[in-house]
Chains A and B, each alone.
Chain A
């Protein structure tokens, strides 16, 4: 299936440029190509989704983008910086200053309360106490977890945990929010709330979001979706002016054509 980009990138400011990225696992005897010469760009303020079946390389791609994993070949430019060339120390600085993470299993620290999980992300940025108190309160209220601030992660529901993870990811105003199957462990209501939060952040705060999912419902909140198969991008869908329902149908169409997995609600 041809890749249709339609010259869309030129309309918005280019933010991330992924060039011919490859990732191999294993030894010479048994090499696995997880990501195979993938190239794409993400514009500032975009909400991009990546879909694909298990083993298609979507999480590997996200890990490389988030600097958690290294590339075997190729380059990833973040504005003017080639992040594949950064040293470990520079990478952690880069992560701290530019990225926010939301994962399927929340990755909250179980010894900290909900509020402290958010506060810690700010103290590592060496922000002032006043700023930390003000911003964390504002963020928790925005995401509806203010009442739960003194609870430990094990005392709240999955959706609430994920909103906390989301607040932690967004509190330092990252240039890019990376989400790996963020709704994977949530029920449909909680998933809907979280995705609306993402959309809201994207629209009001102009947050750039890069989300990996295999769930068509989640993907329908994105403004653009990349479909991955065997480590390559084989299709791209742009929402444009379509309603979410129409966009969902388009996604489902693509999935039914390719026989891909679908968890559409």
Chain B
């Protein structure tokens, strides 16, 4: 009998909670698809960073399980409240609490199992989509084939079951505590509008605004970020997210009480009161939804920033097909060339040196003037602290400034399709990363490059992409006439190679293998330079951060794929979380509105009685739903806009990319509103359907 009743109840409530069912299905589908990345044999074989991807997805799964457990718990409590009268009646009829709990659990297990199975079917489709996106991101072909891994199924099933168990535990406790009276009256609990200290609480709205303004100013212009201050702002932000709604609701209540002009126009009075009372009773939920939206926006935007980086920046970072660094100036790169020749056809090869003359003026200037180093290398009076620079140079720059001869420079420029540069014997140029130059501006007056007949004249900067992460200097290389480099010491050797075709898949691995075999031989050759400092003095990697790929052997076509894989380990989990958070938040909004439609039916019925036509009522419902849906979204857009602006600025700053942050935030918002409009349309249609069931013509 209980099973029959449970089945009937599920069937009956299925339409009311269709959105919830839809979300649970989508969540299972996403879980299955992303989990399949964890267990995919293909991926393991294909990508070196599969382990990182697994770790990141595992982390994402943890947060997702938590949030889904919250959603299920929220829904269980919500449905319990809505059906409390029914459960009260069961109690009155003589059913035991245990039986009712069992009935409710059975219904939910049936509901959950239904969503799980549907989700798995959808999950196979999503899996194929994700796989093909992943493969196309790393420029590989993907042939559709369905991978049903046992472990993946077990993991998806246990995550899902885990969510349910977590949620059910909380709910069972609540059910156990209820008595008939409370069950019969639970429905009415939220109907009373309690207003107290509204005049005081309304100030929370401007205070929230002020806080966000200060937060923005602090993010963009703040310099001294102590841990306490960071914590204070973070706690403040969380508080503001929650208190904002209290403030907004009270602000509207006070406005209506003050009889502001707006309330005397059309349906405004009704709309404002509906909205304020709804957010008053739901302020905690609204806060949580805002937080979820913020995370979804940020996840999406950051994922797109990385995507931009891998699309545009990676190729720029490595203008040469193959670029090999050697700390040893005598290196002829014979072994490496042999490997390359064995695996590919060489179009052009060029072996050259980077030089030093024992000076470090540019290094010191950059160490003390780039924001990324702060005051680390400065003494209290602001002058450079040479001791610290020597001890903690962190391989950003080499121990000495890096120089290059004009002939080498022009040859390399020619190889990558740049125009030649001409210099007089008394002139020099600096080739520097665009990002660094933008920050420092012209600093040529701070350095003196001594020529044979006195200081050279500075002739200009060049900032095209030039493989400057340790190959052609850390962030810069000073280009001087050949006559001058002839008098300098070769610092390290470089080999630049252009290939006829794309590099084969394993060229980098082969080169790395070859280099390993060479180490001992080379060390023997330069055994007299046995001091560690001397050995690594000519190693550097530049001041870029966030996405940095530093290696002696750079094979562009291989590295691009490798870095793309690495970045997709960030992009995918972020999109995954963003999407799930978005769906969860929108489900809560939808279910809230749909289940309230019964209460609203009465209100609209009254409005129709006092003369509102069907069209104006439909318009009013649209406005009401839009207001309710837009409020947390707009607030989240404001917060995430501030944070994404800051994060994007930093991302560009540290990675050297010129990511159009605003554009990506815009795309995130568009994506968001795409998903949003599906839920909104479903809610609106469902809402109207519920109202029409018993309506006045």
Residues of A within 8 A of B (CB): 66-70, 88-89, 91-93, 95-97, 99, 101, 107-112, 116, 119-121, 123-126, 128-129, 132-133, 150, 152, 154, 168
Contacts and interface: CB of A to CB of B under 8 A. Distances in A.
Contacts, number: 95
B136 to A, nearest CB: 52
B265 A150 contact: no
Interface in B265-299: 265-270, 273-274, 277
| Nearest 3 pairs of A and B residues by beta carbon | A96-B611, A92-B613, A129-B264
A116 B602 CA distance: 17
A67 to B, nearest CB: 8
B210 to A, nearest CB: 29
B606 interface: yes
A128 B261 CA distance: 10
A126 B610 contact: no
Contact of B264 (A70, A92, A121, A123): A123
B614 A89 contact: yes
17 contacts: A68-B697, A69-B697, A88-B613, A92-B611, A92-B613, A95-B611, A111-B274, A112-B269, A116-B273, A120-B610, A121-B610, A123-B264, A123-B268, A124-B267, A125-B611, A150-B257, A154-B193
Nearest to B602: A107
Contacts of A68: 608-609, 696-697
Nearest to B268: A123
Given A92-B614, A111-B273, 14 more contacts: A68-B696, A88-B614, A89-B613, A89-B615, A93-B613, A96-B610, A116-B273, A119-B264, A119-B269, A123-B264, A123-B265, A128-B264, A154-B193, A168-B610
A137 to B, nearest CB: 12
Contacts of B259: 133
B193 A95 contact: no
Contacts of A112: 269-270, 273
B609 A123 contact: no
A239 B606 CA distance: 33
Contacts of A124: 266-267, 607, 610-612
B612 A92 contact: yes
Nearest to B609: A101
A127 to B, nearest CB: 8
B610 A101 contact: yes
Contact of A109 (B263, B270, B611): B270
Given A88-B614, A123-B263, A116 B608 contact: no
Contacts of A108: 606
B161 interface: no
Contacts of B264: 119, 123, 128-129, 132
Contacts of A119: 263-264, 269
Contacts of A101: 609-610
B530 interface: no
Contact of B191 (A66, A96, A110, A128): A110
B256 interface: yes
Contacts of A133: 259
A209 to B, nearest CB: 16
A123 B262 CA distance: 10
A110 B193 contact: yes
Nearest to B611: A96
Nearest to A95: B611
Interface residues of B, number: 34
Contacts of B615: 89
A62 to B, nearest CB: 12
A89 B615 CA distance: 8
Nearest to A133: B259
B501 interface: no
Nearest to A106: B606
A116 B265 contact: no
A93 to B, nearest CB: 7
B348 interface: no
B11 interface: no
Interface string B355-390: 000000000000000000000000000000000000
B269 A92 contact: no
Contact of B269 (A95, A96, A123): A123
Nearest to A70: B697
Contact of B266 (A66, A89, A126): A126
A109 B269 CA distance: 11
Q: Which of A67, A68, A92, A168 has the most CB of B within 10 A?
A: A92
B608 to A, nearest CB: 7
B312 interface: no
Contacts of B256: 116
Contact of B697 (A88, A125, A128): A88
Nearest to B606: A107
Contacts of B267: 120, 123-124
Contacts of B261: 129
Q: Which of B192, B257, B697 has the most CB of A within 10 A?
A: B697
Contacts of B270: 109, 111-112, 120
B392 interface: no
B696 A97 contact: no
Contacts of B697: 67-70, 88, 91
B15 interface: no
A32 to B, nearest CB: 18
B393 to A, nearest CB: 67
B609 A95 contact: yes
Interface string B119-134: 0000000000000000
Q: Which of A89, A91, A112 has the most CB of B within 10 A?
A: A112
B39 to A, nearest CB: 52
Contacts of B273: 109, 111-112, 116
Nearest to B603: A109
A97 B611 contact: yes
Nearest to B610: A121
B205 to A, nearest CB: 20
A119 B612 CA distance: 14
Contacts of A88: 613-614, 697
